[in-house]
Amino acid sequence: MNADVLIIDDDIPVLHGLRRTFREDYNIETAENGAQALEFVANGWTFKVIICDQRMQGIDGVTTLSRLKKYLPLASGILLTGHADISTLRRAINEAGVLMVIEKPCRRQILEEAIIDGLKHHEVSVQQTRSSEKLVLGVIKMIERILVTFDFKPGENRPRVLALANSIATQTKCAKPWEMQAALMMSDLNQLPLEADRLYNRDVDRHERLAFANDILAEIPRLSHVGEGLYYKDKNFDGTGIPNNLLAEDGIPAFGRALHVIFAFERLIDQGLGISEAILDMRKHPELFDPSFTDALANAAKELIETSRPK
């Protein structure tokens, strides 16, 4: 579900008027308040340009655009306001990252030019993001080749696990699908032999290896989140495990909790358990696995099974 433009205004006649004005030229969706707009994106809607009135009942325009930005970071935000004071402008820029602020009432031409600029800005942002992600994934593939050189190869179930992991990323918003792909591709990075092993002929503990992998990823632009997730992939939900620190339950980064569930699931099916058996086994240990991510895994598995059935 997607539209070019989302217009948010609690003045219903104005809202309907704007929809009639632009619906022949653009795919338009409207919301009567910020809460309804947030409900749209929570249900999977995407928008390229979001036009929002500042003064509305309930959530104001800046707060609405700021919250929507978390779901749709590439969408161009446009704030309409009849009271463009310095405080509102500062919040619009710092909190919501709006593309522009337009004083109302405004002429149709001004708003149409804003929509055109917003669509162009969105397209540029999408192209830049794709280029950046392509570059990062190129670096990841290079590291993956290094891992293969050291004979670290993913299990035969990895493609199926990756499909489930991408679904979990989409469901829970804990990571972007490409970050999930990167984490699985690079999960063996902490097994590379450290220079200390060669120099001192000693074993390096798992925590030191985790720190080593995290340090490498932190140096690569846009991979710090992946590094953090991998750093906590062996941390149990009750706080035990590695790394040995005081974080537990929701205090553990969400991406780490998700990866902990995914890698445990992969180990179980590599051992010969079926998908349903593996999930059932994990549900018996809520102290180890965040139940919300176990549920997300179960939902992803159900969807995978249903789509793979012959029609």
Contact 27, 5 (CB under 8 A): yes
pLDDT, one tens digit per residue, over 207-237 is 555 565 666 666 666 777 888 898 899 899 9
**The pLDDT value given to residue 138:** 73
Q: Which of 209, 204, 241 is nearest to 227 (CA)?
A: 209
Domains and CATH numbers, the chain: 2-125 (3.40.50.2300), 150-308 (1.10.3210.10)
**The pLDDT value given to residue 197:** 46
pLDDT, one tens digit per residue, over 112-123 is 999 999 999 999
Q: Which of 255, 223, 228 is nearest to 243 (CA)?
A: 228
pLDDT, one tens digit per residue, over 255-279 is 999 999 999 998 898 889 988 899 9
Which pair of structure tokens corresponds to residue 308? 């793979």
pLDDT, one tens digit per residue, over 144-163 is 666 666 556 666 788 888 88
Report the side by side order of strands in the sheet with 28-31: 28-31, 2-8, 46-53, 76-81, 100-103
Strands 46-53 and 2-8, bridge-based pairing: parallel
Which pair of structure tokens corresponds to residue 188? 């063996």
Which pair of structure tokens corresponds to residue 228? 């953090």
